[in-house]
Amino acid sequence: MKDFRYIKNVTTIELRRDQCVGCGACETVCPHQVFTISGGKAAIIDRDGCMECGACALNCPTKAIRVSPGVGCAAYIIQTWIKGPEKAACGPGGGCC
């Protein structure tokens, strides 16, 4: 996936290293290898690779990672503008991305 890069400096991901226990869950679940474990703690090594799926934050035992998760889909975002985030669905006719 290194040949596909999306817009830089937009991701909302935040790692608080002081809260990290170095379990490595984030490194395992991230499909874009944003994290690595170094010196017993997680570190962000590819910030712009993050697509804000939220897997790391959801699986972090100490809530050391924060990200505003969501779906990177234009059709979905339009719906959040029109109908609000609760009623939005991706794709027309209740289908999906």
Question: Which spans of this chain sit near another protein (rule: CB under 8 A)?
Answer: 1, 3-8, 10-12, 25, 28-29, 31-33, 49-55, 58-59, 61, 68-78, 90-97
DSSP string, 46-67: -GGG-----HHHHT-TT--EE-
User: What backbone torsions phi and psi does residue 74 show, to the nearest 5 degrees?
Assistant: -60, -45
Question: Nearer Cβ to another protein, position 16 or 68?
Answer: 68
Which residue, 40 or 92, has its beta carbon nearer to another protein? 92
DSSP 79: H
Cβ 44 to another protein shortest distance, Å: 14
Pick 41 or 90: Cβ nearer another protein: 90
Strand partners, 14: 66
